[in-house]
Chain A
Amino acid sequence: MRWVCAIGTALLSALRVMAHEGPEHEIEELTELIAKGETANLFLQRAIEYRVLGKNIEAAADLEQADRLDPASLLIQHELGRVYFLLGKTNEAIDLLSHALKIKTEQPTELAALRVLRAEFLGARSENKKALEDCEAAIHAQLSNVEWYLLRSALQSRLKQPTERIAGLEQGIKETGAGILETELVEAMLDDHQFQATLPHIERELHSSRIKSSWLIRRARARLGLGEKQAAKADLENALKEIATRITSPSTDANLLTEKAQAHELLGEKMEARLYYEQARDAGAEDWVKDKIKALNKALKADEEGNEKPAEKDKK
């Protein structure tokens, strides 16, 4: 891979093998080296150190310098795209990557990572269809990346493509064997209302898991879909009991908070569900949590209005 080689060469140019005392020290050393002679690789290295320290403005400035000195480097464009996005410059990031994707390389896989990055940025701008095209192209170039299958699944979920989503995850499982893709497949089947079909898988997972809450919630979803309300309620209560033994107060565990919110939501406890979805969002949960919060706000508002109306009628 050319960009892998590029990184190797980058550090060889300085060969700071024996001195490594934190990013500030690295930046000092690199600044000295840059003063002696500017190279794209030195700017790239310093940008990486700036990013470690959260100094994205400085990182972007260095990457722009690096890009000026080596405009054919896919690695530099990749890093600069990421930093632009972190700085909220999504348009610039997408433009940059679109330009980078036109660079000719011997291996199409070199561009796959860039495509996925652009897919993420397009997805953040709700351009899901374009994002999906990028993601598909990247997976086609490299079949073994678990993260990319997950991104494609999320995009297909947003685009309401259940059949393609399920097929795509089955492909990912075949190519990688990753356990989390199997979990995502169950989620996709539940979203597609294939409740009965998911139950054998869920039962297997429940049997083999030490921590069962996430699978209890999935079984509750299936059972609710099949009209087994009491059994679902029992699953959700058991899930909440188990979560209570694992969650701290306050909690910053986005996954546990999401599970807790889901359980409350499925129990019809909208206020609690909204509270924990909000906490999950603040802890860095997935984007769909924000949609849940919106939906719950709407539902709670409707409930309030519904309660007010009979009271008004009584007054009259």
Chain B
Amino acid sequence: MTVSKFHRSSVSLLALSAAVKLWTAISLAANPPRPLARFPYVQCASPTMIHIAWRTESPIDPIVRFGTNPSNLNLNSATNAIVVRASLGTNGQEMLPQWRALRTPENLRLPKLHSAPIGTFQYEVRLTDLMPDTRYSYAVFDGTERLTSDDESYQFTTYPPVGTVRPYQFWVLGDGGTGREPQYAVHQAMLDTTRKEGRPIDFWIYAGDMAYGTGRDVEFQARFFEAYDHTLRHKVCWPAMGNHEGFTSKGTTGIGPYYDAYIVPTRGEVGGVASGTEAYYSFDYGNMHFICLDSHDLDRKPTSAMAKWLQADLDKAQADWLIAFWHHPPYTKGSHDSDKEKDLTEMRRYIMPIIEAGGVDVVLTGHSHTYERSMLMDGAYATPTVSESVILDDGDGDPSGDGPYRKSAGIHAHEGTVQVVNGNAGQTLGRTGTLPVMKRTIVEHGSVLVNVNGDTLVGRMINRNGSQRDLFSIVKRGSVAVSRLPLPWQPPEYKKPTTETKQKAAPAVDHKILITREAGWEYLVGATTRGLSWTRLNFETQGWKTGTAAFGFGERTYKTELKDMRRKSTLIYLRKEFQIEQADRVTEMGLWIDYEDGFIAYINGHEVARVGVARSSGRNAQGIKPRDENGPSYIILKDINTCLKDGANLLAIEAHIASGESLNFRLDPSLIVED
């Protein structure tokens, strides 16, 4: 079976697990048709400007046609407003002839894409002189050939003139980029909610960790661009870098897949003070001003360039609402603890005083895999965080409950900020305790919809099922006298459950099966094979048998019964070839495998998984642990990027029984790749 990134899987894993049945409810994003390697998406917009970016597998003659009438795209992008980046490999690198042919002097002069598959070209087109607050349709062309379908989703609306007061809505999420089912459910819940309410979002904010596990280009493609494809086509996503993107991208240099993926203002093009870097920036939308910081890998101290820029930006900000966002929450007891972790305490100690003296109303963060929302608070910079005298209103902020939080009209220092931690858009949830400044702690997957209408802001947490789980409101009207509560309401203490059920890993939603269950394998039982040469493609399998999975003996029946193995052998070797078209486009590979008791898996001679076998391999294997549980598990294979190759590959498995006296043995593997 051939892996093609552009060929969407039609194979379902339904037969493998009941849990996977949930996935049928999710409508998967289709991979882009060739030659598009990434669907067009909108970026960095203002009342008169927007950027459209996309990728192709080879160079094209890029043109964006656009217009206010979808059936008459009468305007063309300017040729001098296009930035082209390319991934062409390095000198001496092994590559297919078609990629080598692209390494022309002209192409090699282009800015580089970092870690993108070889042959990828990224086009970034800036459309300017647009009419504010106007809906445009667009299409991407290669010369005269239209690459995008005649689809209503290819449209955008320019931003309203700065200062315009009217209802707005934006979506906020963090830590979603896993490619797993909760990510899709959270996205779908936002789409369903906004559709039901008849009020689409105007733009969205991603508070980091949008491309697990290390922010590689292929992870951005599979877990961000394909997961949110339709929303990205017409609504700008304003990003903040998370620690997972920080593994491959650096704020200090502005280099890496994160910086390749996004276009953000560096010269104050969309309002605010020019930051001179893509690591932190600001933008205006209507009567709101947004500030994005890099909390991950830049100096957070007040003497840093980022803190100085923040101060300068706030000095200039004139909007009715000031909203800041970044990845690491200053206040949390979710899967992270802001009383213990330096990244978090520094954001609280050094950045929050500037934020609150500048009059910011709301701080949106991620990183901690839960939903936490504070009371109206100010001045909580100490460690540990306490609530005494830092809470200005200990109500719930709900107009139908304790009433909205009140602030004076305009922007005023130290009148209170609401902290929203929403790192719950996909990653495994967690909680370590309760922070006394929090009004709500909800350990559910979800995201936040924020509505701003004149002097009123409303934030709602919508969980993965589309249920509203929290609502708070801030009203900025008249003049409000600030008072600090010496003994505010405190949330109940969190008691950690005595027994915790460990969540099982699951394959990515958008996946493909490379080796199916019931596939035929070569196997060897009752003998041993020396070294690891048997794990490589060119190994001579003389004396090996062929059989169909599953293999085993004992209480169940198996396609390949190995009754003779009982009490005679505790070890079986299996080999199976599979095909990969372009190895550098593989995001993740895993085994969906039922086994008893342990196994070691290899791809092309490299060990990629070891479960239930402590040390060594083959007949020298030690510490084989009896497996207690039944049923299949998903095991992510490690280091695949270094061992996979284009064309034929070999998966080899050695399965071990814990004891020669065991009554049961089973091995039922399938190989899955994230599509």
**Which A residues lie at the B interface, using CB under 8 A?**
1, 4-5, 7-23, 36, 51-54, 109, 112-113, 142, 144-147, 150, 176-181, 183, 208-212, 214-215, 245-248, 251-256, 283-286
Can you pick out 17 interface pairs between chain A and chain B where the beta carbons lie within 8 Å of each other? A1-B255, A4-B248, A15-B639, A17-B636, A19-B428, A21-B369, A21-B430, A22-B337, A142-B253, A146-B309, A147-B299, A178-B309, A209-B316, A246-B414, A251-B353, A254-B302, A286-B303
In the complex, what's the smallest C-beta–C-beta distance from B48 to chain A, in angstroms?
Answer: 19
Known: A36-B610, A180-B312, A211-B358. A8 touches B305 (CB 8 A): no
Decide: B248 and A144 in contact? CB cutoff 8 A.
no
Task: List B contacts of A52 (CB < 8 A).
Answer: 341-343
Decide: B639 and A177 in contact? CB cutoff 8 A.
no
B87 located at the interface, meaning its Cβ lies under 8 Å from any Cβ of chain A in the complex: no
B588 located at the interface, meaning its Cβ lies under 8 Å from any Cβ of chain A in the complex: yes
Known: A22-B337, A178-B274. A284 touches B342 (CB 8 A): no
Decide: A284 and B641 in contact? CB cutoff 8 A.
no
Task: List A contacts of B311 (CB < 8 A).
Answer: 214, 255
Known: A19-B428, A246-B413. A7 touches B276 (CB 8 A): no
Measured CA separation A251–B381 after assembly (Å)? 10
Number of interface residues of B (CB under 8 A): 81
Task: List B contacts of A22 (CB < 8 A).
Answer: 335-337, 341, 430, 432
Decide: B214 and A177 in contact? CB cutoff 8 A.
no
Measured CA separation A30–B6 after assembly (Å)? 35
The contact of B318 among A18, A112, A178, A210, by CB within 8 Å, is A210
Task: List A contacts of B413 (CB < 8 A).
Answer: 245-246
Task: List A contacts of B336 (CB < 8 A).
Answer: 22-23
Decide: A20 and B427 in contact? CB cutoff 8 A.
yes
Decide: B317 and A20 in contact? CB cutoff 8 A.
no
Measured CA separation A248–B380 after assembly (Å)? 11
Measured CA separation A284–B275 after assembly (Å)? 22
* B248 nearest CB neighbor, chain A only: A8
The contact of B302 among A178, A179, A183, A255, by CB within 8 Å, is A255
Task: List A contacts of B303 (CB < 8 A).
Answer: 254, 284-286
Known: A20-B427, A211-B358. A7 touches B307 (CB 8 A): no
Task: List B contacts of A214 (CB < 8 A).
Answer: 311, 315
Measured CA separation A285–B316 after assembly (Å)? 22
Known: A52-B343, A211-B314. A181 touches B256 (CB 8 A): no
Decide: B308 and A180 in contact? CB cutoff 8 A.
yes
Known: A11-B214, A15-B636, A22-B335. A53 touches B342 (CB 8 A): yes
Measured CA separation A146–B610 after assembly (Å)? 46
Decide: A4 and B316 in contact? CB cutoff 8 A.
no
Task: List A contacts of B213 (CB < 8 A).
Answer: 11-12, 15-17
Measured CA separation A144–B302 after assembly (Å)? 21
Known: A4-B249, A176-B277, A252-B381. A146 touches B316 (CB 8 A): no
Task: List A contacts of B414 (CB < 8 A).
Answer: 246, 248
Closest 10 CB pairs of A and B: A178-B276, A176-B276, A17-B213, A179-B273, A253-B353, A254-B302, A246-B413, A11-B214, A8-B248, A211-B315
* A178 nearest CB neighbor, chain B only: B276
Task: List A contacts of B505 (CB < 8 A).
Answer: 18
Most interface-central of A5, A146, A209 (chain B CB within 10 A): A146
The contact of A210 among B317, B342, B639, B641, by CB within 8 Å, is B317
Decide: A109 and B411 in contact? CB cutoff 8 A.
no
Task: List A contacts of B308 (CB < 8 A).
Answer: 150, 180, 183, 255
Decide: A54 and B318 in contact? CB cutoff 8 A.
no
Decide: A12 and B639 in contact? CB cutoff 8 A.
yes
In the complex, what's the smallest C-beta–C-beta distance from B566 to chain A, in angstroms?
Answer: 30
In the complex, what's the smallest C-beta–C-beta distance from B414 to chain A, in angstroms?
Answer: 6
The contact of A20 among B301, B315, B369, by CB within 8 Å, is B369
Decide: B178 and A255 in contact? CB cutoff 8 A.
no
Measured CA separation A315–B566 after assembly (Å)? 112
In the complex, what's the smallest C-beta–C-beta distance from B484 to chain A, in angstroms?
Answer: 10
* B256 nearest CB neighbor, chain A only: A4
Chain B residues 315 to 361 lying within 8 A of chain A, measured CB to CB, are 315-318, 335-337, 340-343, 349-350, 353-354, 357-358
Task: List B contacts of A254 (CB < 8 A).
Answer: 302-303, 350, 353
The contact of B115 among A8, A176, A255, by CB within 8 Å, is A8
Bitwise interface map of B from 390 to 424 toward A, beta carbon under 8 Å scored 1, else 0: 00000000000000000000011110000000000
Measured CA separation A285–B305 after assembly (Å)? 13
Most interface-central of A19, A20, A248, A252 (chain B CB within 10 A): A20
B379 located at the interface, meaning its Cβ lies under 8 Å from any Cβ of chain A in the complex: yes
Task: List B contacts of A285 (CB < 8 A).
Answer: 302-303
Decide: A284 and B301 in contact? CB cutoff 8 A.
yes
* A150 nearest CB neighbor, chain B only: B305
Measured CA separation A10–B379 after assembly (Å)? 39
10 other A-B residue contacts (CB within 8 Å) besides A11-B214, A18-B180, A254-B353: A12-B639, A15-B213, A22-B335, A22-B341, A23-B340, A145-B277, A147-B299, A210-B411, A211-B315, A285-B302
Measured CA separation A144–B178 after assembly (Å)? 32
Task: List A contacts of B276 (CB < 8 A).
Answer: 144, 146, 176-181
Bitwise interface map of B from 190 to 224 toward A, beta carbon under 8 Å scored 1, else 0: 00000000000000000000001111100000000
* B587 nearest CB neighbor, chain A only: A17
In the complex, what's the smallest C-beta–C-beta distance from B504 to chain A, in angstroms?
Answer: 9
Measured CA separation A285–B311 after assembly (Å)? 14
Decide: A1 and B253 in contact? CB cutoff 8 A.
yes
Task: List B contacts of A252 (CB < 8 A).
Answer: 349, 353, 381
Task: List B contacts of A248 (CB < 8 A).
Answer: 353, 357, 378-379, 414
Measured CA separation A147–B280 after assembly (Å)? 12
Measured CA separation A187–B430 after assembly (Å)? 47
B268 located at the interface, meaning its Cβ lies under 8 Å from any Cβ of chain A in the complex: yes
Known: A52-B343, A252-B353. A178 touches B588 (CB 8 A): no
Measured CA separation A146–B369 after assembly (Å)? 33
Task: List B contacts of A179 (CB < 8 A).
Answer: 268, 273-276, 309, 312-313
Measured CA separation A313–B349 after assembly (Å)? 51
Decide: B335 and A177 in contact? CB cutoff 8 A.
no
Measured CA separation A295–B506 after assembly (Å)? 64
B576 located at the interface, meaning its Cβ lies under 8 Å from any Cβ of chain A in the complex: no
Task: List B contacts of A7 (CB < 8 A).
Answer: 214, 247-248
Decide: B430 and A18 in contact? CB cutoff 8 A.
no
Decide: B636 and A177 in contact? CB cutoff 8 A.
no
B541 located at the interface, meaning its Cβ lies under 8 Å from any Cβ of chain A in the complex: no
In the complex, what's the smallest C-beta–C-beta distance from B616 to chain A, in angstroms?
Answer: 11
Decide: A183 and B247 in contact? CB cutoff 8 A.
no
B5 located at the interface, meaning its Cβ lies under 8 Å from any Cβ of chain A in the complex: no
Decide: A17 and B178 in contact? CB cutoff 8 A.
yes
Measured CA separation A18–B343 after assembly (Å)? 21
B304 located at the interface, meaning its Cβ lies under 8 Å from any Cβ of chain A in the complex: yes
Decide: A177 and B316 in contact? CB cutoff 8 A.
no
Bitwise interface map of B from 236 to 256 toward A, beta carbon under 8 Å scored 1, else 0: 000000001001111011111
In the complex, what's the smallest C-beta–C-beta distance from A254 to chain B, in angstroms?
Answer: 4
Task: List B contacts of A36 (CB < 8 A).
Answer: 610
Measured CA separation A251–B336 after assembly (Å)? 27
* B278 nearest CB neighbor, chain A only: A144
B617 located at the interface, meaning its Cβ lies under 8 Å from any Cβ of chain A in the complex: no
Decide: A13 and B639 in contact? CB cutoff 8 A.
yes
Known: A12-B641, A147-B304, A178-B274. A18 touches B247 (CB 8 A): no
* A213 nearest CB neighbor, chain B only: B315
Task: List B contacts of A215 (CB < 8 A).
Answer: 315
Known: A36-B610, A52-B342. A21 touches B312 (CB 8 A): no
Decide: A210 and B256 in contact? CB cutoff 8 A.
no
Measured CA separation A180–B273 after assembly (Å)? 8
In the complex, what's the smallest C-beta–C-beta distance from B336 to chain A, in angstroms?
Answer: 5
Decide: B636 and A18 in contact? CB cutoff 8 A.
yes
Most interface-central of A176, A251, A253, A286 (chain B CB within 10 A): A253
Measured CA separation A5–B214 after assembly (Å)? 11
The contact of B212 among A1, A17, A177, A212, by CB within 8 Å, is A17
Task: List A contacts of B255 (CB < 8 A).
Answer: 1, 4
Known: A54-B342, A178-B276. A146 touches B253 (CB 8 A): no
